[in-house]
Structure 1
């Protein structure tokens, strides 16, 4: 709140005060009152009108300056109305009441939206679990009836299963705390489980897979990490080059350990690299090389890593391949796990 705003708002009052003082001065002059007395009386009238306005300006400026300072300092702006102190002037009281009513309406709308989202997420999770049953039955049928004509159908089932799993984890990504259990997780085991799950498409694509020096133990939920690794493997298969190769390595830092997944595929153009983790972004490779690109794989990887407290980084060079790192922070539990391993 500036002085200009306040005094412009009080312009009608000031005009009335000035007119009253001037009229009083004229009447006193007509009544032959001494000019000194007229001047003194006019000064008293002016001070009597301006001093209360000045006090009001100071009171309101103090309130609004504190309010704006609090608003700027708050990270969660929606708490503003709850922390705002009740002012002593009527306009401020109305302002606070309007803020409270607006905040309450917003909270009600958010609560309703969260309930709708929770219902939809539960429906998706239920649907995914139900649809997995016929997929598993079809897979068993194919295993009992081997043969080249059925190979294409088996690949299609694997793709369907992958999209179903992606839908499940996408639905759960908004509330990972409901199904996230932190346990000691060997990086080699996590990588092996993901590779085993994608063994058939990796073999069919002619991949050479290497697990180099994976001896670290991190604390995470292996199921979520396996899904993230699966998305990376799926991308490596889609965008493979000649003599495809997939290498899992680890790297240690003072406060973290990273699981690195590198391929020698077509790589990502530098123009697309800053956006590859955006939702729905397929980029040049997705448009040219893969008809099945949804633009959700890397988005889910980065989103899930962020919500699980893990780091995620990606580096790539067009024509040379891509390297993705999942970074596990070293906390107290991680260090305790390392000590237990050393004792053994």
Structure 2
């Protein structure tokens, strides 16, 4: 706090001093028994003003440490919540410091409790996903064993539903791990074509059931990424395309590169995304008009997770769509200038 602001806050003290000084002068001047010389009265006023000014300034300098600590706390922002105020000699400031420190203690306790609850929830989700995968794997084995004895339509439907359950379980697992991403990733060079084919194989039942034609265009490209997380991202995009593409439709994956990076474009000829929804499709929980009208069970997590993981990996995910014509999701892998191969060329 500046001296000017401090003075404004204590203007009543100054006003009280001026009134008292004026009354004192008036009483002395009107004293009939004493002859008061104006110069002596002025000298007395100057002494009183000097003493009061010294007192006022010393009070400000004593409190300046307190105000400076408050200013440092404001500048610290988030760290200020872990910074307790020191006690002072003034009772009013002691009361304020005690109250603020009690609030900080309560905040810290609440934060620790919330953190523990969040950690317990993550551990429960991770355990639940691990446990659910066991019966899910058993169901998939049973489906593979007995699907020949089922009608073709029922067999494909069973496979589709199991694959969908597996995708939802993966979404839950990756959502719970989103905050701990930095502890579970490994950036290496990977060829994109094998990863794309892996994702297509995982969704083969969908392609077969809906008779959707798949085409991979462009030469293979090598990028710096994490295999597990990238496969999950591609799975979310492909699953979304399959969901909103009609039977006998087309899904195309095209690889290309320019001077700045590699582009992976996944295009479909599905129903498309309304223009007003395109800016929000990566928001958590957003299902849009398509999700509400066509797929009422949509969670709004798939593209949100794909976008968040892309950002954490240093990739860029964008969308372009025309209603009734289809959608193109572009996953861009910028070249990283600080990764160079032995020939001095940028690694993709």
1:326 to 313, 331, 346: 331
Q: 1:267 aligns to what SS in structure 2?
A: coil
Moved more, 270-279 or 242-251: 242-251
- Counting only pairs closer than 5 Å after superposition, residues 1-344 of structure 1 correspond to structure 2 as 1=1, 6-29=6-29, 30=31, 31-53=34-56, 71=74, 77-80=77-80, 90=90, 102-103=103-104, 105-145=106-146, 146=148, 147-148=150-151, 149-241=154-246, 243-331=248-336, 334-336=339-341
Change (3 A) 1:332 1:108: farther
Distance 1:199 1:129 in 2: 24
Q: 1:26 aligns to what SS in structure 2?
A: helix
Distance 1:170 1:243 in 2: 32
Contact 2:215–2:252 (8 Å) recurs in 1: yes
1:34 CA displacement = 0.4
1:179 CA displacement = 2.3
1:275 CA displacement = 1.0
Deviations, residues 131-169 of structure 1 (Å, cap 9, x unaligned): 111111111112121221443323222221111111111
Q: 1:275 aligns to what SS in structure 2?
A: coil
1:83 CA displacement = 8.3
TM-score by length of 2: 0.83
Contact 1:81–1:96 (8 Å) recurs in 2: no
Provide the aligned C-alpha RMSD in A. Answer: 3.4
Distance 2:263 2:84 in 1: 45
Moved more, 108-117 or 226-235: 108-117
Distance 1:128 1:229 in 2: 21
Change (3 A) 1:140 1:81: closer
Paired residue total: 339
Contact 1:81–1:99 (8 Å) recurs in 2: no
Contact 1:176–1:308 (8 Å) recurs in 2: no
